[in-house]
Amino acid sequence: MANRTCSVEGCGAPYECKGFCNRHYKRWRLYGDPSAPRHPAAREITPESFWARVDRSAGASGCWPWTGRLSKAGYGAIDWVGHSVVAHRVAYELTVGPVPEGLDLDHLCRNRACANPAHLEPVTSRENTLRSPIALPAINARMVTCKEGHPLVRLPNGRQRWCPICKKNYRRPPRRYRGMHEPPAKTGAPTCKRGHPFAGDNLRFARGQRVCITCQNENQRRRRAAAKNERSQHELSGKRD
């Protein structure tokens, strides 16, 4: 049973159910034939039926929105020749020709559902990203200064940029001082609830709140003692059993 394979000729996938593998079993359930193509309805789509789903009422210079199914990203989607593709790519190939290898189609109108070939331009993936008004890489590429207004300098690798002024002014504190900063304007009570003063080595700040070092150490000692007592009681109960 473990070595059984799919009964479809030429398929050596492991057996799943009804004598078929997982892929052919699903096709048998959907279409009644395990050898049926993945999208049998795609063969019926013709250029005429494709353009029937495009609204070309805006004229040659306007946007042609796709009236069919849209993807999650907002692009027109269609099953074409057995594959799920974007509608604007099919429109470009039907009117202009194949998209050059290694290039993507950029919407010059910034309307993702538009299928007008006049609004499409083949560009590289990098150029397509940099043209976007909302893509984070494009926004960072258009920046010429840092948050403090200092000019950005490109690194020798030619890809990354940084601000040498902010880098020079930044000093990371030693590990023992991390999390500590200047007290806020309103310091509050001079002592903690147990009467320990908030001053000198007995004071640290965590998430904007004052912490008493003495109380913190006492709490840690109590927790260790409680854990040690629990372990000893557990060992005694085990010996009695």
Residue-wise pLDDT tens digits, 55-87: 999 998 999 999 988 888 899 988 776 667 899
Percentage of the chain lying above the pLDDT 70 cut = 83
Residue 225 tokens, joined: 């003692």
Stated as kind and residue range, the H or E segment containing 97 is: none
Span 116-124, average pLDDT: 95
Reply yes or no on domain 44-130 having CATH 3.40.390: no
Better-predicted residue by pLDDT, 59 or 34: 59
Q: Where are the domains of the chain?
A: 1-36, 44-130, 136-169, 180-240
Is the pLDDT assigned to residue 140 strictly greater than 80? yes
What 8-state DSSP symbol labels residue 36?
S
pLDDT in the model for residue 167: 81
Residue among 42, 46, 50, 71 nearest 115 (CA): 50
What is the SS3 assignment for 186? Answer: coil
B/e letters for 198-234, b = 16+ CB within 10 Å, e = fewer, are beeebbbeeeeeebbeeeeeeeeeeeeeeeeeeeeee
The confidence score (pLDDT) of residue 135 equals 87
pLDDT of residue 22 exceeding 60, the answer is yes
pLDDT at 138 over 80: yes
Asked if 92 contacts 99 with a C-beta cutoff of 8 angstroms, the reply is yes
* Higher per-residue confidence, 208 vs 225: 225
Residue 173's pLDDT band (cuts 50, 70, 90)? low
pTM to 2 decimals?
0.51
Residue 211: pLDDT band with limits 50, 70, 90:
confident
Confidence (pLDDT) at 210: 83
Cα 201 to Cα 193, 204, 205, 213: the distances in Å are 17, 8, 11, 8
